[in-house]
Structure 1
Amino acid sequence: MSMILFAWIVRVRDGLPLSASTDFYHTQDFLECRRRLKTLALRLAPYPGRGSAEGRGLTIHFSSSGDVACMAICSCQCPAAMAFCFLETLWWEFTASYDTTCIGLASRPYAFLEFDSTIQKVKWHFNYVSSAQMESSLEKIQEELVLQPPVALTLEDTEVANGMMNGHVQMHLEPAPNFRMEPVTALGVLSLILNIMCAALNLIRGIHLAEHSLQCYLYLFYSPARTAKVVLMLLFICLGNVYLHGLRNLWQILFHVGVAFLSSHQILSRQLQEKQADCGV
């Protein structure tokens, strides 16, 4: 039976899975252990370095450095030195294949799933190659574990984290504070009155402007000659701008038409005022 069952590579800062081994076991213990492995991946930031979580028949080992962490589900018969040697080899292979920029910019889960072929090769090497051929590497890891033991966790710790991350924590309900609106001050009342007066004045000015514009337009249409003159002037301006600028500068054409329209409006207003002055209005 294989001692290293499953491998997972995640990003430390947010627990985003980057790659994983595609082999899968359907035992209840493995499914439960894998579920808690995903939960543990979300809280690796406080545990830099190495750590282990013991379970029933299976053990989770993880090793993180920088922004990449390698995790594995192993049988209880797998020595800790072998598991951490496997994770360290996997970490070196992954960081040599992908730079930190690609890892940091990854936005979707399993963005480097093609790395599974490398995971399978390394996993097969540690499962089926004799320990004598890896003796030097295992001795080095064993010495490091003696000097700096891995963090020891339990799968119950991950269950508590899972409850907190999924919102199943105990809620402390308290009555919401009552807020009452403060009364309007004298300054607020004065500001409201001034705003109403300004609005009324603007309304009166708008009515007078509409009246004056209506008189200008009536004066224009009373004289067919003036109407034809203004229409021809607007048409000439439009055709001239189309010729000079082309249809791509449509906003400039509309701007010039608007200027011509305002100019004709001012001319008509002046003529209307002169006519009213002549009539003694």
Structure 2
Amino acid sequence: MSMILFACVVRVRDGLPLSASTDFHHNQDFLECRKRLKTLSLILTQFPGRGTAEGHDLSIHFDSSGAIACMGICSRSYPATMAFCFLEALRWEFTASYDSTSIGLASRPYAFLKFDSVIQKVKWHFNYASSSQLKNHLEKIQEELMLQPPLVLRLEDTEVMNGLRNNHAPVQVEYAPNYRMQPVTALGILSLILNIMCAALNLIRGIHLAEHSFQCYLYLFYSSTRLLKVAIILFSICLCNIYLHGLRNLWQILFHIGVAFLSSYQILTRQLRDRVLDTGV
């Protein structure tokens, strides 16, 4: 009896099965055809929208459009026009039930398994409906198939495609050479010791340099503090001198302040010079 045996909806970009009819056929030819269908679903991006993989007793039909593809296993005697009409009706039902966002975000197989009830209803309708009931749909599909005939493959070709999926040749496994570490020679040990000694000397020099720099910075800070004290004392004396002599001229006041500043600068310069001569900083 010519009929539709199995149908499924897959995502085109990666072949992820979204939903399928829960049909249990233990026929060996059917189980083998199911394996070929899975292989074919992974390479749908390489084929046009419609195609058929013909076997001895069974055939696989697929109709891909947009993000999804509907695939079915039918008996060889089932008309191709009826099969593509069934797949198109199935695709319209699925796109009406689920939007493109939920289809793109699906991460696990058979995420829309509840759609099986719709698949069973549409499949029963095409298995047992007469051609007169599907006349309008069949005429439309026949015109499309005449303008764009479907791709025809042999079911055996899908086995070869499984090894050449995505146009990649089978990977040949090659063993890497086995490298062994060589023992360290006496020259290598001597080089290691010299490197360690040089590193230790550089470390000691760095510590002494840091200590010397710290002492210089500490002395400069101490000298700056003393300069501030001297400047405060000199400015205090300058203000007292202005108050006692009753200076009212602006130029006289600025003159005494300048004298105080130059005196403090000379004291600090003399101290720094003595420090350089004593310590060699």
What is the CA distance between 1:208 and its match in structure 2? Answer: 11
Structure 2 residues without counterparts, runs of 5 or longer: 178-193, 211-281
CA drift of 1:157 comes to 1.5
Task: Name the CA distance, whole Å, in 2 between partners of 1:198 and 1:36.
Answer: 68
Cα pair distance change 1:196/1:26, threshold 3 Å: farther
Matched AA of 1:201: N
Secondary structure, counterpart of 2:14 in structure 1:
coil
CA distance in 2, matches of 1:103, 1:196: 67
The number of residue pairs the alignment matches comes to 194
Change (3 A) 1:68 1:203: farther
Shift of 1:171: 3.6
**Which amino acid is the alignment partner of residue 69 of structure 1?**
A
1:201 aligned to 2:202? yes
Distance (whole Å) between structure 1 residues aligned to residue 12 and residue 197 of structure 2: 60
> Structure 1: how far apart are the matches of 2:80 and 2:149?
10
- Aligned-partner residue type, residue 71 of structure 1: M
Aligned counterparts of 2:105 and 2:202: Cα–Cα separation in 1: 59
Whole-Å Cα distance in 1 between the matches of residues 197 and 99 of structure 2? 65
Change (3 A) 1:194 1:10: same
Q: Separation in 2 of the partners of 1:121 and 1:194?
A: 82
Q: Is the 8 A contact 1:51 1:151 kept in 2?
A: yes
The answer to whether the aligner puts 1:114 opposite 2:139 as a matched pair is no
Q: Quick check: 1:48–1:65 contact (8 Å CA) kept in 2?
A: no
The aligned counterpart of 1:23 is 23
Quote the offset at 1:6 in angstroms: 0.1
- Alignment match, 1:153: 153
- 1:130 Cα shift? 1.5
Whole-Å separation in 2 of the counterparts to 1:27 and 1:104: 34
Q: Tell me the SS of whatever aligns to 1:133.
A: coil
Aligned to 1:134: 134
Residue aligned with 1:132, SS: coil
CA distance in 1, matches of 2:169, 2:32: 19
State the match for 2:55 in structure 1: 55
Counterpart in 1 of 2:41? Answer: 41
Judged with a 3 Å threshold, the aligned counterparts in structure 2 of structure 1 residues 208 and 28 are, in CA distance, closer, same or farther, namely: same
What is the rounded CA distance, in whole Å, between the counterparts of 1:155 and 1:203 in structure 2? 79
Counterpart-to-counterpart distance in 2, 1:3 and 1:97: 25
SS of the residue corresponding to residue 114 of structure 2 reads helix
Tell me, what secondary structure is at the counterpart of 1:18? strand
CA contact (8 A) 2:2 2:77 kept: no
Distance in structure 2 (CA, Å) of the matches to 1:196 and 1:58? 81
**What's the CA shift for 1:48?**
2.8
Question: What SS does the corresponding residue of 1:153 show, helix, strand or coil?
Answer: strand
CA contact (8 A) 2:59 2:155 kept: no
Contact 1:4–1:74 under 8 Å retained in 2: yes
Contact 1:29-1:56 at 8 Å conserved across structures = no
SS for the counterpart of 1:22 is coil
Q: What SS is found at the alignment partner of 1:126?
A: helix
Question: 1:1-281 alignment to 2 at 5 Å?
Answer: 1=1, 3-165=3-165, 169=170, 171=172, 200-202=201-203
CA RMSD across the alignment? 3.2
Which residue does the alignment assign to 2:222?
Answer: none
Q: Counterparts of 2:121 and 2:205 in 1: how far apart (Å)?
A: 86
1:202: Cα distance to partner?
A: 3.5
Instruction: Give the conservation status (yes or no) of the 8 Å contact 1:6–1:24.
Output: no
**Closer/same/farther in 2, CA of residues 30 and 200 from structure 1, 3 Å limit:** farther
Aligned residue number for residue 264 of structure 2: none
CA distance in structure 2 between the partners assigned to 1:86 and 1:195 by the alignment: 81
Specify the SS of the correspondent of 1:13: coil
Contact persistence 2:2–2:76 (CA under 8 A): no
* Deviation per residue, 1:108-154 (Å, 9 max, x gap): 11111111011001001101122211111011101111111000111
Cα distance in 2 for partners of 1:14, 1:37 equals 14
